């Protein structure tokens, strides 16, 4: 029986950008005939020949997870080759390389720094040309040869925009990377160390990629990056300018934005966001409601700017879904300062709050800050915000009961039956009285018109019915 191409699995940590880049790597391997296997180590999992781990460095927890997964992969898959890339690999390559304790049979762990991650898009073709086969036992040697061949030509940062998957595993919406890196130096952030200064995809290329998604039948695309508020192409177009250009150059496709900086909402951008094909869902990187803490974090806005931003977004959209990021337990955050964060969250009434405990990161300004907050207090503050978030979500859903929204069907399977899942334009997870019983199940990615009927069993979700 002819030997087949090697199989592979991908484990991704971190943000939407990392997810998108993993999708592109998987797509490149699948196009070369490599078989994608679900990630799984341990009992009953089908071992893949190649394991890819795409890492994150935002928190020490993310790095711990990566190390644990690397060790587990090497230990439980003695035949497999393991490639580690991403932001943690960018900053701690040497430390990661020590995790391969020279297991029997030579080198099996390969670390590709984040800024050379796009070079991995070439690996499948190299392995095909080298005759790589599943179970042949020479995969690591071939990867080592690729490394040596690539070492000189490691793709410099300019190629940060080569991650354009032909298709997306969720099939419900497309993702478009329009920006990478960041020019800010927030005191707690390691991302800017790992991904470097801000770079932007030329608007013409962004339009071509968005049109390609529209032609493939995607009804929605998420524009993503590290800090898309810093989008600025060679022509000097900012985010608002890009959105106008994309809307003018496409017909139907809806656009959703990943996250925005509160101080990045110029009046021009706000006016562009009013466009009906821009989704009424905005995620603001707020981080704190305390002027003192925002100042210590090196954030360039105050709580009043956050409230103004939320107010402007509510002026241009009918009750948009407003969410935010908050870091609790930043050095110097007393109970009184934290209360200011709770107050602003209550006043704005966010429909969701992503709250994270501060993670002290090497190489950041805050690494040496005094007045640390105990992990317990930071965790309690996350719980307090989670309670506020759940309340905000319930109140948001209740305001939409009886109203109609556009929604896109998510991949689901019979086990969820009879309820079908969809995501509404205003970012609600809808559980739809399903057509399963009527035999016409809309495919993932289908655009529907739905009426919200109430809270679903799970307070995060809304029950809805299809009306068109
Ligand atoms: S804006 Fe601040 S937190 Fe966000 S990526 Fe840039 S430096 Fe990091």
Summarised one tens digit per residue, pLDDT across range 370-413 is: 999 999 999 999 999 999 999 999 999 999 999 999 999 997 55
Q: What is the pLDDT of residue 159?
A: 80
Strand positions, DSSP E, 346-392 = 352-357
Per-residue b/e over 28-57, b at no fewer than 16 CB within 10 Å?
Answer: bbbebebbebebebeeeeebbbbbbbbbbb
Cα torsion through 297, 303, 308, 314, rounded to 10: 90
Residue 105 has pLDDT above 70, yes or no: no
Residue 324 has pLDDT above 60, yes or no: yes
- Tell which wins on pLDDT, 147 or 2: 147
Q: What SS3 state is found at 338?
A: helix
CB atoms within 10 A of CB 288: 25
Per-residue b/e over 220-257, b at no fewer than 16 CB within 10 Å?
Answer: bbbbbbbbbbbbbbeeebbbbbbbbbbbeebeebbbbb
Query: Residue 35: enclosing H or E segment and its boundaries?
Result: strand 35-36
Alpha-carbon distance of 325 to 353, in angstroms, equals 6
Report the candidate in 247, 35, 39 with the shortest Cα–Cα distance to residue 134. 35
Cα torsion through 285, 290, 294, 296, rounded to 10: -150
Q: Which of 26-40, 274-288, 415-429 has the lowest mean pLDDT?
A: 415-429
Cβ neighbours of residue 376 closer than 8 Å, sequence gap 6 or more: none
Cβ neighbours of residue 425 closer than 8 Å, sequence gap 6 or more: 254, 279, 280, 281, 405, 406, 407
Residue nearest to atom 4 of ligand 1 (CA): 227
Residue 275 has pLDDT above 60, yes or no: yes
Burial of residue 85 (CB within 10 Å: 0-12, 13-18, 19+) is buried
Q: Which of 3-7, 253-257, 296-300 has the lowest mean pLDDT?
A: 3-7
Residue 123 has pLDDT above 60, yes or no: yes
Q: What is the pLDDT of residue 457?
A: 80
Averaged over 439-466, what is the pLDDT? 88
- Tell which wins on pLDDT, 346 or 167: 346
Alpha-carbon distance of 141 to 105, in angstroms, equals 10
Q: Which of 280-294, 300-314, 412-426 has the lowest mean pLDDT?
A: 412-426
Residue nearest to atom 8 of ligand 1 (CA): 189
Q: Which of 321-330, 340-349, 441-450 has the lowest mean pLDDT?
A: 441-450
**% of the chain surpassing 70 pLDDT:** 92
Q: What is the pLDDT of residue 274?
A: 98
| For ligand 1, mutation pick of 90, 91, 186 (most atoms within 8 Å of CB) | 186
Closest ligand 1 atom to residue 184 Cα is 7
- Tell which wins on pLDDT, 156 or 351: 351
Spatial contact of 85 and 117, defined as CB atoms under 8 Å apart: yes
Q: pLDDT confidence of 158, banded at 50, 70, 90?
A: low
Residue 1 has pLDDT above 60, yes or no: no
Strand positions, DSSP E, 316-460 = 321-328, 352-357, 404-409, 419-424, 429-433, 447-455
Query: Residue 285: enclosing H or E segment and its boundaries?
Result: strand 281-287
Per-residue b/e over 316-346, b at no fewer than 16 CB within 10 Å?
Answer: ebeebbbbbebbbbbbbbeeebbebbbebbe
Q: What is the pLDDT of residue 110?
A: 96
Please give the span between the terminal C-alpha atoms of the chain, in angstroms, as a whole number.
Answer: 51
Residue 103 has pLDDT above 80, yes or no: no
Q: What is the pLDDT of residue 425?
A: 98
Q: What is the pLDDT of residue 124?
A: 95
Extract the tokens encoding 14. Answer: 């971190």
Alpha-carbon distance of 5 to 3, in angstroms, equals 7
Q: What is the pLDDT of residue 443?
A: 86
| For ligand 1, mutation pick of 184, 197, 260, 361 (most atoms within 8 Å of CB) | 184
Predicted model pTM? 0.91
| For ligand 1, mutation pick of 56, 189, 324 (most atoms within 8 Å of CB) | 189
Spatial contact of 441 and 390, defined as CB atoms under 8 Å apart: no
Q: Which of 122-131, 155-164, 195-204, 336-345 has the lowest mean pLDDT?
A: 155-164
Q: Dump pLDDT digits (tens) for 246-267.
A: 999 999 999 999 999 999 999 9
Q: Dump pLDDT digits (tens) for 46-78.
A: 789 999 999 999 999 999 999 999 999 999 998
Cα torsion through 173, 179, 182, 184, rounded to 10: -90
- The verdict on the CB of residue 66 being under 6 Å from ligand 1 is no
How much distance in Å is there from the Cα of 123 to the middle of ligand 1? 31
Averaged over 153-170, what is the pLDDT? 72
Residue 44 has pLDDT above 80, yes or no: no
How much distance in Å is there from the Cα of 190 to the middle of ligand 1? 8
User: What does the DSSP assignment read for 205-258?
Assistant: HHHHHHHHHHHTT-SEEEEE-S-GGG-B-TT--BHHHHHHHHHHH-SS-EEEE-
Q: pLDDT confidence of 114, banded at 50, 70, 90?
A: confident
Alpha-carbon distance of 354 to 373, in angstroms, equals 19
Q: What is the pLDDT of residue 214?
A: 95
Q: What SS3 state is found at 23?
A: helix
**% of the chain surpassing 90 pLDDT:** 80
Alpha-carbon distance of 252 to 218, in angstroms, equals 9
Averaged over 191-208, what is the pLDDT? 96
What's the mean pLDDT when you consider all of the chain? 91
Q: Strands 254-257, 220-224: parallel, antiparallel or unpaired by DSSP? A: parallel
Cα torsion through 343, 346, 348, 352, rounded to 10: 120
């Amino acid at each position: 029986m002819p030997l087949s191409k090697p199989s592979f699995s991908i484990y991704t940590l971190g943000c939407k950008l990392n997810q998108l880049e993993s999708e592109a790597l998987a797509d490149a391997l699948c196009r070369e005939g490599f078989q994608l296997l679900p990630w799984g180590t341990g009992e009953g999992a089908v071992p893949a020949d190649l394991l890819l781990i795409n890492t994150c460095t935002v928190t020490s927890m993310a790095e711990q997870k990566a190390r644990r997964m690397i060790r587990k992969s090497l230990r439980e898959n003695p035949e497999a080759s393991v490639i580690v890339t991403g932001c943690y690999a960018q900053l701690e390559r040497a430390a990661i390389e020590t995790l391969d304790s020279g297991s029997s049979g030579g080198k099996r762990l390969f670390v590709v720094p984040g800024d050379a991650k796009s070079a991995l898009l070439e690996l499948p073709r190299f392995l095909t040309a080298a005759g790589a086969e599943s179970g042949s036992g020479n995969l690591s040697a071939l990867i080592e040869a690729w490394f040596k061949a690539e070492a000189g030509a490691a793709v410099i940062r300019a190629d940060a925009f080569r991650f354009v998957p032909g298709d997306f595993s969720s099939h419900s919406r497309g993702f478009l990377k329009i920006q990478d890196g960041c020019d800010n130096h927030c005191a707690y952030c390691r991302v800017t160390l790992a991904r470097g200064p801000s770079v932007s995809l030329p608007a013409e290329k962004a339009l071509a990629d968005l049109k390609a998604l529209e032609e493939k039948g995607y009804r929605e695309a998420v524009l993503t990056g590290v800090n898309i508020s810093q989008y600025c192409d060679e022509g000097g177009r900012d985010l608002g300018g890009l959105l106008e250009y994309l809307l003018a150059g496409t017909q139907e496709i809806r656009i959703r934005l990943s996250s925005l900086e509160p101080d990045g909402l110029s009046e021009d951008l706000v006016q562009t966001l009013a466009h009906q094909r821009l989704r009424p869902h905005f995620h603001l990187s707020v981080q704190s409601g305390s002027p003192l803490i925002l100042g210590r974090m090196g954030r360039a806005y105050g709580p009043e700017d956050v409230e103004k931003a939320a107010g402007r977004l509510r002026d241009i959209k009918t009750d948009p879904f407003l969410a935010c990021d908050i870091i609790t337990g930043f050095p110097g955050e007393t109970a009184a300062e934290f209360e200011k964060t709770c107050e602003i969250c209550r006043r704005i009434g966010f429909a969701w709050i992503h709250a994270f405990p501060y993670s002290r990161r090497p190489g950041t300004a805050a690494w040496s800050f005094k007045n640390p907050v105990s992990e317990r207090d930071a965790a309690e503050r996350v719980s307090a915000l989670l309670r506020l978030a759940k309340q905000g979500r319930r109140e948001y859903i209740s305001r939409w009961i009886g109203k109609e929204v556009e929604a896109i069907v998510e991949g689901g399977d019979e086990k969820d039956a009879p309820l079908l899942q969809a995501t509404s334009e205003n970012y609600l997870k809808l559980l739809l009285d399903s057509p399963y019983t009527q035999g016409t199940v809309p495919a993932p990615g289908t655009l529907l018109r739905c009426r919200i009927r109430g809270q679903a069993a799970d307070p995060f979700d809304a029950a809805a019915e299809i009306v068109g």
